[in-house]
Structure 1
Amino acid sequence: MAKHKIYTTSFASVYPLYVAKAEKKGRTREEVDQIIAWLTGYDPRELRARLEEQTDFETFFALAPRLNPSRVAITGMICGVRLEDIEEPTMREIRYLDKLIDELARGRPIEKILRET
């Protein structure tokens, strides 16, 4: 089976789009980074390293220090597909991140985005 093109896309090429989407709606780069840290366990130094290295999405998630076990609570639709129905692990991680950034851009409070009580 051929790899999905997004897997070989550098995370650094998409990261500015996440930030722009958030900032367009009055949110911040720091909030985007907070979401990424919550999802993947990357600290700011590690995140910058992945961005500078032009790490592809597949490697970005494979090297994640600690994928948050609470991420399975992220449900709903993204790109017309239910998150719960995505079987391929890397694509599911990418779509979790997409969903969290969408929630940020829609104005959802960061505590709710990060599934905190």
Structure 2
Amino acid sequence: MIQNPAKTYQNNQVTTATPSELTLMLYNGAIKFIRQAKNSIGERQFAQAHEANIRVQDILNELIITLNRDIPISKQFMTMYEYMMRRLIEANLKKSTEILNEVEDLFIQFRDTWKEAMKLAKQQG
């Protein structure tokens, strides 16, 4: 059976990524699925919007599960992640692109900060 080259590449990326890179992939994936949800709402494809929103919730759950609670700042991350989850659920119920915009902005901030932290860690490492 021939495997899809894009799928093979993606699988290799995930299996060879560092924990930091995996976190970055999760942030990017969440942003991608939020945008899909917003587009689907705009096209009145509510079932697809729901599926995309659930994917973002799954990613957020993964971020929560893998959060290192030994690090003091993790409490603030948890508070923000829980808030984002509540907003995602609300956006899904109301089919609200405004709420999705808010959550997307938060994910972008997390992603950009994470990228900077990765860059600093590389420079110091």
In which range does the TM-score fall when normalised by the shorter chain? 0.3 to 0.5
Higher Rg: 2
TM-score (norm 1): 0.34
The structure, 1 or 2, with the larger RCO (C-alpha pairs under 8 Å, 6+ apart) is 1
TM-score (norm 2): 0.32
